[in-house]
Amino acid sequence: MGEPIGIIGGTGPLGTGLALRLAAAGLEVQLGSRDPQRAGEAARRLNSLLDGGVAAVTGGRNDEVADRALVLVALPYDAVRATLQELARSLAGKIVVSTAVPMSFASGRPEPVQLEAGSAAQELAELCPDSRVVGAFQTVAAGQLLDLRLQLDEDVLVGGDDRQARKEVATLVERIEGLRAVESGPLATCRYAEGLTPLLLRLNRLHHAQTGIRITGL
């Protein structure tokens, strides 16, 4: 199966949803957590949902997961800085994928938060200057990923300054059935993907739907 994909903060809805879909596609995944027991429990739960109960998902501490060659960061935006400051050295040279969407609910509705760095993905790149940072999955709803009966049918914008890393992440995205990767260019383009998510959440409320994005004309 090859080297497992690591997911830091992997026990939440997005981490477990991505792990489930990637494992269903035949990849090995290691979920990271502050508490390895919690990661182990989440991994067992996911394996029980997979055909034949294959043990494709394992659990570990976030620092163990940071040793993987390709690491998805599925932490809440507010937890990224403190967690990655400690892991930046292990993540040097690795492909690190930012999924975070900085949002506020000050008005009772989801609003994008403007960041000085431009985007959460660019902040992550500042925290891990020796990593190959790529942004992806910001517009994909975890609830859709977690229900294997649902056929996915949407695009995922993939932005990053390292073209080879971007291509590898795009290939990973497309291992998940029903997702198409659309490379958006440099890491600075991640602000657009991150900014779309509050809109999608508003659309979900307004239309009682579960929305995603599709780029036409490609």
Ligand X SMILES: NC(=O)c1ccc[n+]([C@@H]2O[C@H](COP(=O)([O-])OP(=O)(O)OC[C@H]3O[C@@H](n4cnc5c(N)ncnc54)[C@H](OP(=O)(O)O)[C@@H]3O)[C@@H](O)[C@H]2O)c1
Interface segment toward ligand X; rule CB under 6 A; list 52-60, 97-105, 106-114, 175-183: 97-105
Least separation, in Å, of the C-beta of 62 and ligand X?
A: 7
What is d(CA 71, CA 94) in angstroms, rounded to the nearest whole number? 7
Interface segment toward ligand X; rule CB under 6 A; list 5-13, 86-94, 160-168, 174-182: 5-13
C-beta of 4 vs 15, nearer to ligand X? 15
Whether the Cβ atoms of residue 123 and residue 80 lie closer than 8 Å to each other: yes
Least separation, in Å, of the C-beta of 52 and ligand X?
A: 26
Tokens 């291992």: give the residue.
Answer: 175
Q: What are phi and psi of 155, to 5 degrees?
A: -100, 155
C-beta of 51 vs 206, nearer to ligand X? 206
Candidate residues 12, 36, 118, 185; the one interacting with ligand X per rule CB under 6 A: 12
Footprint of ligand X (CB under 6 A): 9, 11-15, 33-35, 38, 74-77, 79, 83, 99-101, 137-138, 140-142
